[in-house]
Amino acid sequence: MTNQLKSLKKMTTVVADTGDFEAIKVFNPQDATTNPSLILKAIQIEKYQPLLKQATAWAKDVHPDNVVEAAADKLAVLIGGKLLEQVPGLVSTEVDAHLSFDTTKTVAKARQLLALYKEQGVDPNRILIKIAATWEGIQAARILQQEGVNCNVTLLFSFAQAKACAEADVFLISPFVGRILDWYKKNQPDNDFQGANDPGVKSVTQIYNYFKQHDYKTIVMGASFRSSEEIRQLAGCDRLTISPALLEELANTQGELQQVLQPEQAAAEADVAIDEQQFRWLMNQDAMASEKLAEGIRQFAVDQKTLEATIKANL
C-alpha cells in the first residue's frame, strides 16, 4: 500500500515550504519555496552558518557602502542555490516586504536578485520571484512577466487578488489556506470549519475552479497549511507547498487520496475584469483579506529586519 504523500504526488506537484536542505533530501519535492521567516530560521542552524559568513564576506568586498542589504540578498540567493541542488524544479526567492507598495523598487529588487543568481551560474528560468499580492506588487509582477521573469505572488487571501494576478499573467499564486482559517476561527469561533467547511479550502477551491473554467494559465499553489486534512481537501490542486512536519505526516500515513479538485468539474461562472479601483474596493470590503495581507507584510518585514540585524552582528 502506498502512503498519502506518494498518492498526492500522482495528482499534485508537491513543493517543500522550507529553507532546510536536509528536509528537502528526505521528501524529494519537485520545487522549494522560501521567505524571510524561513531564511531566518535556517541561519539559526549551525550547519548553515557558513552561508551567512560567505554572504557577509561577499557584501563587504563588493558593496562596502551597503553591506547589510547586499548580504541579505546574497544570503537569499545562496540558500536558493543550495535548494536548487536538492530539487529538480523551481525555487522561489522573496522580495523584501518593505517594498510591497512600490512597483518600481520591487521590479528593481527582482532584477538584482536574478543578477545574483546569474553570477552564481544559476539558470534564471528555475527561479520564481516572490512578491506580496498588493496592487503594486501585482503590477510589478505584470512587468516582470512581460520581461520573461516568472513570479510567485504570495500573501494571497482573496478572489480579488487571485483574479488580478491572472489578468497580469502571473506564473503562480500562493493562496494562504491556514491563515484564512486562523482569521475565521478567531472571529467566528462557534462555526464548524472542519473538512470542506474550512474557509481556506473553500477559497482555494473557488480560485482553482474559476481559473480552469476560464483557461487562465496562472498556477494555483495552496500554501500555509495548518493540518494534513486541509491538504487532503485540496488534492488535485496544481501545486501545494507543504512544511516538513506535514510532509512527514503524509509520508507516514498509509492509503490513497481522492482527487478532490479536477479541471473538468469547474462550474461555469461569468468572467469579469478587475481594475485598480475595483481591486481596492473589494479588498476594503473583505476584512479577512485586508487584515491578513497587512499582518503578513508586517511579519515578513519584521523577520527581514531581524535577519539584517543578525547579518550586522556577524560583520
Q: Please tell me what DSSP assigns to residue 257.
A: P
Burial class (CB in 10 A: 0-12, 13-18, 19+), 59: buried
Of 74, 109, 130, 163, the catalytic one is 130
Long-range contacts of range 55-60, CB-CB < 8 Å, 24 or more positions apart?
55/311, 56/311, 56/314, 56/315, 60/315
Contact in structure between 94 and 38 (CB atoms under 8 Å) = no
Local structure of 152: helix, strand or coil: strand
Distance CA 70, CA 58 (A): 9
Contact in structure between 129 and 106 (CB atoms under 8 Å) = no
Q: Is 130 considered catalytic here? A: yes
Burial class (CB in 10 A: 0-12, 13-18, 19+), 268: exposed
Catalytically active residues are: 130
